[in-house]
Structure 1
Amino acid sequence: MASNDHGQAGGQGLTEFVDRYKQYMQQKENTHEFIRDLLVYADGVESKLRTENSQLLQILNDTRLDLDDATKSRRDLQLRLRDLETRLGVIPDRNPYVMVLIDGDGLLFKEHLVRQGVVGGRKAAEELRKAVTDKFSYDEDTAIEVVAEIVANVSGLSKAMKRDGCLDDESILYEFISGFNQAKVPFNFIDVGYSKEAADAKLLCSARFHLRNFNCKLILMGVSHDGSYAPYLDHLIHDDTGKQRIAVLEGCPTVEDIVATGITITSFKTIFRSDKLRVPSPQIETPTTTTTAQTMSPPPSVSYAAITQTKASPPPQITLPIPLKRANTPARTLKPFTPAWNPGPRGLDPPIQVNPAALERLKKRKGSDKLCNNHFLRGPCTKGDECDFEHNYNPTKEEKAVIALFARLSPCTKGQECDIDNCIYGHHCPSVVAGVCVHPHCKFRVDEHPPGTKFKHARHADWN
């Protein structure tokens, strides 16, 4: 019995060891499997990281190429910009300036400056420069320049100032202008002679030019006295190129048409006059009766009776660029007052018949919507797209007659010496009715009206 117990005990011990061995081998197999799984996982992670690293390297290389290309493009653009600046003479913000454009027939310097002649001209230029720089400073680090251009009919202005009494001698104005021109290189007082259109065109062309210049920070237009500039100013302040870069320099109170545009208005009261020249209009007795040929008082130095007794030569035959309206068509004739008077070698301009409806229709066109006289009567307009008036329009015959009438309101620069048969401008005032000039802004001189004409509205000093 003892030996059997011992045998059983030995058998059980071996079985236990075998079981433990099997457990050990199973555990070892599990460990190896875990290690294999771990190695597979690590290999997958490493492979994924290698792929991502490769992609990042590719992105980095592409980015470097893009950076190199952007750097090269930027340098190319810088070189091209410098080349353009050199060729155009434009270096942004290195030469900022304010442009002062003045219609010298209406914006007048103070009397005490003009009376000083050359010295006064220099003082006026210096005071104008200082007033502009003080009021319109641009950059503390960059000095702003002031450029001034004044245009006027110097001969007419000097005569008007002498009649006003602010000058004893017309030559003083010429001395003042000489001093003004000597004071600063960019200061110029320009004599455009007897031509309102030339003065207007010069100012407006200068304004257009300087508005396109980056260095021009502001344009001061000395035109407060003349409502004819209103359409142009209104166009500019509603255009991105001119908005906030143009203002009106006021002398005498700004006319309502310009105020209505909403443009900025400034003034230098110590430099410019705030009143107009005191030029009395001719005082003529009003005719007591109306007849076919009205009787008017002659000028003191001329016998009107002698003029009427002299047979006037008939006016030359003039071919208008548009046909006149026939009497059988509903129309009215704006017939100027034509007494027994011969204005000169050319004679009287033939009257133009217009259709009332067409007249009212075109009068309603304002600003840049107005039709261009030159384009439709003589065309095409030489200004092209630079012209401030309408070209894209097909006027009727009645409307062309109205355009011709509007053109007639502007004086011909050659007056009675004009030898152009189909000249579209007026050679004497067409607005005289019953011995009175009724045009609110008549540009014709007194001697371009019939002797004894009275004036319903105050006249500009330059047209007396």
Structure 2
Amino acid sequence: MLRESDIDSLNTHLASISQENQRHNENLQDLLNQFKNLLEDYSSLKSDYEEVKEGREKYKRQARGQDRNPFVLVLVDGDGYLFKEHFLKAGSEGGINAARELSDSIRELMHSTMGMQADQCRIMVRVYANILGLSKVLARAGMVGHEARSLSPFTSAFTRAQDLFDFVDAAEKKEGSDFKIREMFRLFVDLNQCRHIYFAGCHDSGFGSLFTPYRGRGDKITLIKSASFHREFEDLGLPIRELPSVFMSTPLATTKPTAPAQTINTKVVTAVNGTKPICKHFQKGICKFGHGCNKQHVMPNQQLTRPADHPESPSPKQLWSGSPIVGRSQEFLFSTLPPHSLKSEDFIPINKDGDRLDTYCPHPSPDAMDAYHRRAKERKVCNSFHLSGQCGDMSCQYDHGDVSNTVIDVLRYILLQHPCSRAGACRSLKCYMGHVCQKPNCKAVKSWQCRFNQRAHTIDLNVAQWVSPSDHSDGDDDNHSSISVESFESQSPNTAFFN
């Protein structure tokens, strides 16, 4: 029989074996859990590896695809960059030749900027313009016909000439072309397939902010210089090139007159009598009190002096007998009034006071006046039809036949010598009457008889903004009628024609 000590020893040994067996089971379970976690981590890493591998293969395929079709993009604002005159006058044939010349010129630039890569790249051209408005401007310059969208044969042929060439009509919205050019630039500038962008829109400073993030990136962007190049683009650190065989090198504008320059001061002089205010209505030519007005009648630029021994107020006659009043010179009118442009076809210029301004219209040459005389003797032309392209009078008695651009220019000049009844408040795009006096050196005084009132001679001629026209057309009745040269010449010799 076992002794008590043996029994205790066996119990202790059994408990020890039981504890060891328990620890062994726990260690085994822990090992199995670790192995399970290891397998899960391995599976996750393998999945990530497969995704990365697939992404790398996809990137390689895309890179190989991009390398197969590299190209350069040429963006052109067609409203500001006009093709050479001989291209435009040739119509469809000119469009084809313009596309070929542009392609050859860009190819030469590519060799100078891209080196050996130039032969591997195709050329994509996008020209955006308001074709309707541009057709009107070019028609008045004698480069295309007077029918609506007369530029369309040129643009269609330009598009057909090359596979990746498009001349796009950006419609008649004010910022239509700008919006499309901006979005096309943003779409392609960071695309690897697009190796270079040649930008022809540097006449508009609004594009300057578009290139600010790419300052100094001459390896990606080249600016094309044309007739109207804004100085702001010179500070971008981008290469600037010219295409003299493709685009016009001079603006489409009237030749600058050679009359001597004169400076006009429109500030109203201080009255002689410090206690007597100046009559503003008199300066506008609408004072109804005449000599009985209790305010001083002083003209702009008039310097009045009063002897010390004559303290009484000067008479109206003395007020008009001050120093000579200098009218606005032809040079001043040319440099201050806005020129006839594409913008003036759709918007109306106004000054800081809200008065409407006219585009500059110089006196026609004697030959032009003779041509108008000969045409008017045959039959008087319809003003509305030949200036706006339409006539709303079904029973119009005036001529709607074809006339030369010279006759139209004379007609526009004659109408501008007749003041609009609404003056500076007119906002009709179809009003072709005058809103400011454009007669060189015309003096708004009684001895210088002029159809325009005093204000039309003294308003600020600097354009503050271009506004949209109103729907109504004030003065259309006058525009529709035919104003002859005889009625125009019936004025005083001082106000008829200036040679």
Question: TM-score band, normalised by the shorter chain?
Answer: 0.3 to 0.5
Bigger CA radius of gyration: 1
Higher relative contact order (CA 8 A, sep 6+): 1
- With structure 1 as the length reference, what TM-score do the two structures score? 0.46
- With structure 2 as the length reference, what TM-score do the two structures score? 0.43
